[in-house]
A and B are shown apart, each in its own frame.
Chain A
């Protein structure tokens, strides 16, 4: 198995262009669609202006770990919005706020939601404070009980909904694109098996003391490692060069990627079993990869989909579970429990495809 694996790497060294171009493609797509990290601390900058006692609001707003609010002058704000340099700006008033909007921007909607929440909460606190003797104490009390609630209602709507959060959006794009392009790399390299069967090197290997399962394993493992390298490179590039620097759950991330790659490698084997000619595969591979990515939510979040059939179909797509689990591990830090179910699906999917695929392939011969 090791010999077969090493051989594939030697061959890759001779013709690395395809693999490299998929990495580059992924990076370009993510960068264009998801955007580069816009501020060094990973937060989205929102420009605000206003007169009077607004500093307190600014501090409150800046408690966000998604947005960074910065004051500019009213003139600047108006000028920039007018010229289109800014799509919108926030006007702070002592007791209220307002948005100055130049261009429609989905980002603005989520900023507005956030600002509204902050104002609402603060006003409620103020109302309560008026009715008691020791306003500071009650404030602490409320904050404390909010930090340690009796009952937690767990909602993920803010993250899961399309474009509610720019960081979520960027991760969605990065994860979706990486998982999409890696399918090509894997499918392309699995085609090597068919090529070897055609040009006779496969028979040569079969006649040697190496067992057939070892030959398959060599190829499969190679595709797996290659896929891992590709996703790894993309994630690292975005983390260290483009400021996608969320805290991530490391182990769940690794395990999810592994399970996903296993599922895709197995799917590739199934396709090899179904189509025995390289030309057929060249036609089928992109259809399967792109179709699956569309249905599985690699190009847009599934929340943007309302069609019932599409949603039902997405549930059969391994990429959906890969994205789901990776978002949970890289974005929401929900720990291992959150990724277990998707991983279980991916493994099951992989085992089934692999079983059918190898059976089909070996039957074709006899």
Chain B
């Protein structure tokens, strides 16, 4: 239904998006994952026709959106990354205005407002000013506005940034409901791996303006199917130790994490004994060890050499 072809955006001399190809079928929910500055928001702005690509094209049902932005605007609901509401007005007044500019009037408008307020669970607080809302509630109204005109495609740019876990799981459930029950096509942007993992049928991973991997969760994880992850908590964290381990040919990758290090090793290589030998040699105390099957987080680490949120 929607596809991009070698989409590129240059800001002065910075290449924010570097020739990406991606597609979405009707009713799919797609995750777009990447660290800060990967180019997610820029990609979304181009798809939603807010900025023009430097080169490349976007097609909706085969027709170019770049040449005719009205095409995509009619079917699109966008939840921007930043909260885009009139703070000094109430949630109801915000919804009323945004409904009006989508040509909704009278009874129909009231009905739609009622229904989206219900959906985001802010029926009771609708008369309160947006500026008096908590961050999570503002986020929910930010989403509600994009749903008023019942778009076919919903694009969400990091809709859960900086909010409490309760609001977050509420939003995730809501998005899943929209996708599964109403058949809404969803493009969900995030740098939380677990959100995308829970929510999306297919995932694109972006870094430095490029798509570095794509596919279903299982496909992505199969990249690492021959590997396993070992988490070692240690005290103190020794850089020399990690350097030494990195020189070991049988260890694929060593990364420092919160309380220790994360090692990726071939499955069944049984490296634990030699790791313990090394820690002892460096006088480092091991406080916890955990062997895991790979997560998407590990896939990302594997592909880019860094974690999603650094």
A residues sitting closer than 8 Å to B (CB atoms) are 3-4, 6-7, 10-11, 14-15, 199-201, 203-210, 365-366
* Selected contact of A3 from candidates B73, B74, B82, B100, CB within 8 Å: B100
Name the segment of B84-92, B254-262, B299-307 touching the other chain: B84-92
A7 in contact with B97 (CB, 8 Å): yes
* Selected contact of A209 from candidates B52, B84, B103, CB within 8 Å: B103
Q: Which residue of B lies closest to A218 (CB)?
A: B101
Q: Is the interface on chain B under 10, 10 to 19, 20 to 34, or 35 or more residues? A: 20 to 34
Q: Given the known A-B contacts A207-B49, A207-B73, A208-B73, are A11 and B88 also in contact in the complex, defined by CB atoms under 8 Å?
A: yes
Residues from chain A with Cβ under 8 Å of B85 in the complex: 199, 201
Q: Which residue of A lies closest to B70 (CB)?
A: A209
Assembled-state Cα–Cα distance A199/B80 (Å): 10
Assembled-state Cα–Cα distance A324/B212 (Å): 68
B147 within 8 A of partner (CB): no
Interface 0/1 of B9-47, CB less than 8 Å to A: 000000000000000000000000000000000000000
Interface 0/1 of B101-134, CB less than 8 Å to A: 1110000000000000000000000000000000
A206 in contact with B84 (CB, 8 Å): no
A15 in contact with B50 (CB, 8 Å): no
Residues from chain A with Cβ under 8 Å of B82 in the complex: 199-200
B78 in contact with A14 (CB, 8 Å): no
Nearest first, the 4 A-B pairs at minimum CB distance are A200-B84, A3-B100, A208-B101, A14-B88
Residues from chain B with Cβ under 8 Å of A4 in the complex: 101
Least CB distance, B173 to chain A, in whole angstroms? 24
Assembled-state Cα–Cα distance A103/B71 (Å): 77
A204 in contact with B102 (CB, 8 Å): no
A210 in contact with B101 (CB, 8 Å): yes
B101 in contact with A205 (CB, 8 Å): yes
Could you name 20 residue pairs across A and B whose Cβ atoms are closer than 8 Å?
Answer: A3-B100, A6-B97, A7-B86, A11-B89, A14-B88, A15-B88, A199-B83, A199-B84, A200-B80, A200-B82, A201-B84, A201-B86, A204-B78, A204-B80, A204-B84, A206-B50, A207-B73, A209-B74, A209-B103, A365-B51
Residues from chain A with Cβ under 8 Å of B73 in the complex: 207-209
Residues from chain A with Cβ under 8 Å of B98 in the complex: 204, 208
Assembled-state Cα–Cα distance A24/B77 (Å): 44
Further contacts, 8 of them, CB under 8 A, given A11-B88, A14-B89, A207-B49: A7-B97, A199-B84, A201-B85, A203-B50, A207-B48, A207-B76, A209-B101, A209-B102
Assembled-state Cα–Cα distance A308/B45 (Å): 54
Q: Given the known A-B contacts A14-B88, A207-B78, are A200 and B101 also in contact in the complex, defined by CB atoms under 8 Å?
A: no
Least CB distance, B151 to chain A, in whole angstroms? 10
Assembled-state Cα–Cα distance A4/B86 (Å): 12
| Most chain B CB neighbours (cut-off 10 Å) among A4, A10, A204, A208 | A204
B93 within 8 A of partner (CB): yes
Assembled-state Cα–Cα distance A22/B40 (Å): 45
Q: Given the known A-B contacts A14-B89, A200-B84, A209-B73, are A3 and B49 also in contact in the complex, defined by CB atoms under 8 Å?
A: no
B145 within 8 A of partner (CB): yes
Q: Which residue of A lies closest to B149 (CB)?
A: A208
| Secondary structure type dominating chain A contacts | helix
Assembled-state Cα–Cα distance A81/B83 (Å): 69
Assembled-state Cα–Cα distance A199/B94 (Å): 14
B52 in contact with A366 (CB, 8 Å): yes
A208 in contact with B93 (CB, 8 Å): no
Least CB distance, A202 to chain B, in whole angstroms? 8
Assembled-state Cα–Cα distance A201/B100 (Å): 14
* Selected contact of A200 from candidates B48, B52, B76, B83, CB within 8 Å: B83
Q: Which residue of B lies closest to A14 (CB)?
A: B88
Least CB distance, A171 to chain B, in whole angstroms? 38
Q: Which residue of A lies closest to B80 (CB)?
A: A200
Q: Given the known A-B contacts A10-B89, A14-B89, are A208 and B84 also in contact in the complex, defined by CB atoms under 8 Å?
A: no
Least CB distance, B216 to chain A, in whole angstroms? 30
Q: Which residue of A lies closest to B78 (CB)?
A: A207
Residues from chain A with Cβ under 8 Å of B145 in the complex: 204
Residues from chain A with Cβ under 8 Å of B48 in the complex: 207
Assembled-state Cα–Cα distance A204/B52 (Å): 16
Least CB distance, B47 to chain A, in whole angstroms? 11
Least CB distance, B72 to chain A, in whole angstroms? 9
Assembled-state Cα–Cα distance A207/B76 (Å): 8
Residues from chain A with Cβ under 8 Å of B86 in the complex: 7, 11, 201
Least CB distance, A28 to chain B, in whole angstroms? 27
Least CB distance, B162 to chain A, in whole angstroms? 16
| Most chain B CB neighbours (cut-off 10 Å) among A6, A10, A15, A365 | A10
Q: Which residue of B lies closest to A200 (CB)?
A: B84
Assembled-state Cα–Cα distance A204/B73 (Å): 10
Least CB distance, B153 to chain A, in whole angstroms? 12
Residues from chain B with Cβ under 8 Å of A10 in the complex: 89, 93, 97
Least CB distance, A8 to chain B, in whole angstroms? 10
Least CB distance, A298 to chain B, in whole angstroms? 32
Residues from chain B with Cβ under 8 Å of A15 in the complex: 88
Q: Given the known A-B contacts A11-B88, A201-B86, are A3 and B101 also in contact in the complex, defined by CB atoms under 8 Å?
A: yes
Residues from chain B with Cβ under 8 Å of A201 in the complex: 84-86
Assembled-state Cα–Cα distance A3/B94 (Å): 12
Assembled-state Cα–Cα distance A89/B146 (Å): 75
Least CB distance, A193 to chain B, in whole angstroms? 14
B102 in contact with A208 (CB, 8 Å): yes
Residues from chain B with Cβ under 8 Å of A199 in the complex: 82-85
Residues from chain B with Cβ under 8 Å of A200 in the complex: 80, 82-84
